[in-house]
Amino acid sequence: MKNTNIGIMGASGRMGRMLLQATLDHADTTLKAGFVPSYSSLIGVDAGEFIGESKTNVALSAFTDPQSLKGLDALIDFSLPDAVDATVAACVSAGIPMVMGVTGLSEEQEIKLKEAARKIAIVYAGNYSTGVNLSLNLLATTAKVLGMEADVEIIEHHHQHKLDAPSGTALMMAKSIADARGQSLKTALIHGRHGTSKRNAGEIGIHAVRGGEIIGEHAVEFIMNGEIVTITHKAMSRATFASGAVKAANWVYYQPAGLYDMQDVLGIKAS
C-alpha cells in the first residue's frame, strides 16, 4: 500500500496547521500541498518551516483551479463555507476524493455535496475525533432504551472565535438521538429557551456557549423523574480532530464514489 498524497485546504488556519502536522506525522501519508488564500503573505513559505518543523520542499500556495490539485490522492478541507463550492467543484473535475470538515454549510451546499459524492468519494463529518464518534453510538443506544421517557438537553461549549452555532458536533448528536427515537430532527430541535412556554414532550434542546479558548465540550443529558444520565465528551487538543481527518483521508482514497462519515472510517457504523 503506497503512501497517500494529501493536500490541505485552509493550511494557514488553526486547524490547517494541525492538519499539516498530522499529515507529516502519519506513517502512511505524504504532504503534497498546502493551500492558503490568494492574498496570503505565506504563499511560497515552506509548509514544514511554517509549523516549526524541518523543511518539506512543499511550498504553501494559492488554490486557483482543478490543476492545483494535480498529484493529490485526497484533499482535506477545514476552511470556510464560502470557499466550499469552488473546492468541491474542483475535486469533482479532477477526480480527487475529499475529507470535508467545514461546518456551518447551508442546505444548498449540503445538497451539492451529496451530488458530488455520486462522482467522487467524500467523507463529511461534523467531528473527526474517535471519542465523539463512539459517543454517537452511546447516544443512539441510550435514546433507544429510554425513548420519550427522557427529556434530552445538549449543552456545547466552544471558543469565542467559532462562527457557527450550534456546533456541527451538537447537531450530529441531536440527529443520532432523533433517529434512534424515530423523530424528525427539524421538528424536535429547540435552540436555547426563552419566554414563558413549558417544555414540550420530545423536544431536543441545544444550548451553545461561547467563550475564551475552549476547544470543544459537549454534554448530553437524558433527564428522567428520579435520575439523569449524562454522556460527555471533552476535546483537550485540536490534534485529535486533525489526526482523525488524516486517517479519513488515508481511508477515502481507496473507496468508491459515495458520501461517508467518520463512523464508516472507524468501522463502527450501525447496520
Q: Which residues carry a binding-site annotation?
A: 10-15, 49, 55, 101-103, 125-128, 159, 168-169
Annotated binding site for NADP(+): 55
Neighbour-count burial for 153-166, b at 16+ CB within 10 Å, e otherwise? bbbbbbeeebeebb
How far apart, in whole angstroms, are the C-alpha atoms of residue 88 and residue 46? 25
> What residues are designated binding site for NAD(+)?
10-15, 49, 101-103, 125-128
Which one of 32, 157, 158, 247 is the catalytic residue?
A: 158
**Euclidean distance between CA atoms 161 and 37, whole angstroms:** 19
Residue 88: partners with Cβ closer than 8 Å, 6 or more residues away? 98, 100, 112, 113, 116
Catalytic residue among 112, 162, 207, 269, which? 162
Report the distance separating Cα 30 and Cα 25, nearest Å.
Answer: 9
247 catalytic? Reply is no
Q: Which residues are annotated as a binding site for (S)-2,3,4,5-tetrahydrodipicolinate?
A: 159, 168-169
Catalytic-residue membership of 162: yes
Residue positions annotated with a catalytic role = 158, 162
